[in-house]
Amino acid sequence: MPKRPKQHRLEDKSRVKFQEILPEMWVYRDKDKDYGIDSEIELFDKNEKAQGIVFYAQLKATESKKTSTILNVSFDIDTLRYYKKLEIPVLLVRYSEFNDSIYVKWIDNVDLFFAKKDAKTFRIKLSEENLWNSNSSEKIERRLKNIRKLKSGYFNFPIPYSINIKSQKVNNFSKAILTTQIKSALKEYSEFLINASEKDSIVEILLDNEELKISILDLYGCTFHSIGKRKLDEFSVGVAKDIMLGVATSFIQIGQIDHCGKIIFSNNLHRRLLNKKELLVQLLPPLFQSSYFKNTLNLIGDILDSESSFEIQILTAVNLLISSELNSKSKNRAIEKFYKKRLNKSIKKEDNTQTGISHYNLGNFYRGKGELFKSVKNYIAAKRYEPIYLQQDYYYQELAGVFFLMDRFKVASGLYAKSIELGAGGLTKALYADALMFSGSYEQAKVAFFEYLDSNENPSAEFYLKAISLETIIENTGIKQQSRKIFEAMAKADIKKISKNGNVDIEKELEKTLELDLLSGLTWFNLGITQIEKSQEDHALFSFIMAGLVQNNDIEAWKNAFLCSFKVKSQLYLLPSIIQTAYFFNGEEFVLQLYSHLEKTNGIEDITPFMAIVEMVLQKVEKDESPPTVRALNEKGKFENIFKK
């Protein structure tokens, strides 16, 4: 007879024991193991009405008799980070079979500061304060209700706080004296905090010689370390300022970023951040997204004036890049002003390296805004002041991208080629092929596209379609190289004008137009329409794909390519790439127009199979969550792409 594993028996027992101590009004539900969470608990009131309050529980049981084992729980660090990111708070539930007791601690507020470098696990320490008692459920419910109130924004300042100094002496100050001094120092921030009893407090402050811990209801907060090593002068004033910074940090974790900005900037606490780089790094991203954007820019300017911080340069570049993508004129003006200010200061200091970096940042900024001539001007100035850019593959790639947007395809292809020569690979090869194609070098582009496909396990659907389509049309037309006459081709691709010439073969006339410009979107679209009328869906499929590829926002072309692919079974393999590419360029609008067309032609009930295919393909498309490309000069004097693995 197979024996049941002891750990499984212990886990089941811990579940039962935990359920037994929960109030009757709380509902316990087991969670799917795939989520890495054992259970979900939902709170109901005395009238058995749901309160909309839920928390997760992660059970850890032990049969050990050793107190040290019972009160220390090891977790995978990645798992802890995952728990801390969840919107729903996670409660660690430690069951001791030997003592038949349960200890609880919110994982959200576990401090990973003491985790060893490159460590895979972290030990959470418990104490007798974490032992479940008759007041535990009430404390949990009160905390969760207050958190909901804070997250919703329906609360008023000042917020009640309490101080608990755990040591009799901290940095040579007695507990009684220091408590009084800190309370007195916190009166300067009476607009935000008010002293209260531990039971009524929302902000909880714990202090000893090792650390200052500020938390909101033991769920959100931050910790300052090495308290006992601080200078005695104005010790309590400094602690009070750090308490306010801790409260500000807690508001970020709750999602109230403007309250964080208000606390920091209205109390001149940003000056203290200059000496707390680790905390500054944590606060910068949300502050850039708050209404205190300009204040944050000024703070960054002060930091960069006082020191050359690689990390701060990086964070600034990242956040300004993200912020500049928002359609906010005031933010974009502030960003441009900031970059120009940095440039002027670098020029005055005759610091060529920082001047080059400033021009490069402005080049990126103007490129994002579509101000292409300004972008090129600054990119070129960047390499003049800092020649090291001429050795960087990304520099040529980014400059090539701007020239491509300016329809200077031949120049772009040359710059992409230089980027590849310096070591760029992956998508750069596809962009090089794309520039070659639009410059009229079709055969060379075809070769480059297939080199890209061969060197990538998961190539872009867009460039896969371009490779296949270009190969087909070169074979059909025999055109391998062309000086494109774009406007002349566009004028001759008008079906109405062609029809006025009498009894002519429209398809042949359109094919002649391709001799002027093989990438004439209008020609390919009209060819597709003509070929459908002749029931030549196989030819029409490639015509509509080409129309979509050269005019990527042409939803009608993509829609027709989708419909044709169903009628040409031999080319059905192209359907996923068609859907992915059309969606990449047009988003939900493509799906909406496609479904609307299918409803009109097939009836609402009959479009279900089409919808199933589209949704299945789009679910497999990985969202582009890659961070922006950001480079800064590191401590070794080299430009580093910090996100490149």
Structure confidence at residue 483 (pLDDT): 95
User: Is the pLDDT at 637 greater than 60, yes or no?
Assistant: no
Q: Which of 564, 551, 488, 498 is nearest to 522 (CA)?
A: 551
Distance in angstroms (rounded) separating the CA atoms of residues 239 and 242: 5
Mean pLDDT of 171-198: 91
User: Is the pLDDT at 224 greater than 80, yes or no?
Assistant: yes
Tell me the longest C-alpha to C-alpha distance in the chain.
104
- Two tokens at 545? 């794909």
627 pLDDT tier (thresholds 50, 70, 90): very low
pLDDT digits (tens, 9 = 90+) for 468-497: 999 999 998 999 999 999 999 998 888 888
Structure confidence at residue 629 (pLDDT): 46
Distance in angstroms (rounded) separating the CA atoms of residues 405 and 427: 17
Distance in angstroms (rounded) separating the CA atoms of residues 26 and 136: 13
Structure confidence at residue 645 (pLDDT): 41
6 pLDDT tier (thresholds 50, 70, 90): low
Structure confidence at residue 623 (pLDDT): 45
Q: Which residue has the tokens 């049981």?
A: 61
Instruction: Report how far apart, in Å, the C-alpha atoms of 199 and of each of 68, 142, 202 are.
Output: 29, 10, 9
Task: Identify the DSSP state of 317.
Answer: H
Mean pLDDT of 606-622: 78
Say if residue 398 is exposed, middle or buried (CB neighbours under 10 Å; 0-12, 13-18, 19+). buried
Distance in angstroms (rounded) separating the CA atoms of residues 287 and 283: 6
Other beta carbons less than 10 A from residue 495's beta carbon: 16
Beta strands in 504-628 (DSSP E): none
Query: What pTM was estimated for this model as a whole?
Result: 0.65
- Two tokens at 468? 């296949």
Distance in angstroms (rounded) separating the CA atoms of residues 512 and 501: 15
Three-state SS at 411: helix
Higher pLDDT, 298 or 362: 362
Mean pLDDT of 568-592: 89
pLDDT digits (tens, 9 = 90+) for 142-184: 888 888 888 877 788 899 999 998 888 888 889 899 999 999 9
User: Is the pLDDT at 10 greater than 60, yes or no?
Assistant: yes
Higher pLDDT, 456 or 187: 187
Pairing assessment for the beta strands 121-125 and 101-106 based on DSSP bridges: unpaired
pLDDT digits (tens, 9 = 90+) for 532-573: 988 898 899 999 999 999 999 999 999 999 989 888 888 888
Tell me if 253 sits within 8 A of 220, measured CB to CB: yes
Maximum mean pLDDT: which of 217-221, 229-233, 275-279, 524-528: 524-528
Higher pLDDT, 251 or 314: 251
User: Is the pLDDT at 324 greater than 80, yes or no?
Assistant: no
Higher pLDDT, 329 or 544: 544
Structure confidence at residue 384 (pLDDT): 93
* Dihedral, 512, 467, 415, 439 alpha carbons, nearest 10: 0
User: Is the pLDDT at 524 greater than 70, yes or no?
Assistant: yes
HEC sequence for 325-375: CCCCHHHHHHHHHHHHHHHHHHHHCCCHHHHHHHHHHHHHHHHHHCCHHHH
User: Is the pLDDT at 575 greater than 50, yes or no?
Assistant: yes
pLDDT digits (tens, 9 = 90+) for 79-126: 998 888 888 889 999 999 999 999 999 988 787 766 777 888 999 999
Q: Which of 333, 302, 306 is nearest to 320 (CA)?
A: 333
Tell me if 561 sits within 8 A of 596, measured CB to CB: no
Structure confidence at residue 643 (pLDDT): 42
DSSP string across 457-492: SS--HHHHHHHHHHHHHHHHH--------HHHHHHH
pLDDT digits (tens, 9 = 90+) for 247-291: 998 888 888 889 999 999 999 998 888 778 778 878 888 888 888
Cis-peptide into 387, omega within 30 deg: no
User: Is the pLDDT at 601 greater than 60, yes or no?
Assistant: yes
Mean pLDDT of 421-427: 89
Q: Which residue has the tokens 């200061």?
A: 345
Other beta carbons less than 10 A from residue 77's beta carbon: 15
Measured in whole angstroms, how far is the alpha carbon of residue 600 from the centre of its chain? 39
Summary mean pLDDT of the chain: 85
Distance in angstroms (rounded) separating the CA atoms of residues 536 and 560: 13
Distance in angstroms (rounded) separating the CA atoms of residues 99 and 583: 59
Share of the chain above pLDDT 90, in %: 41
- Two tokens at 239? 């602690």
Structure confidence at residue 55 (pLDDT): 92
User: Is the pLDDT at 642 greater than 50, yes or no?
Assistant: no
Q: Which residue has the tokens 């024991």?
A: 17
Structure confidence at residue 34 (pLDDT): 54
Q: Which residue has the tokens 């991203």?
A: 285
- Indicate the residue type of 415: L
Structure confidence at residue 445 (pLDDT): 94
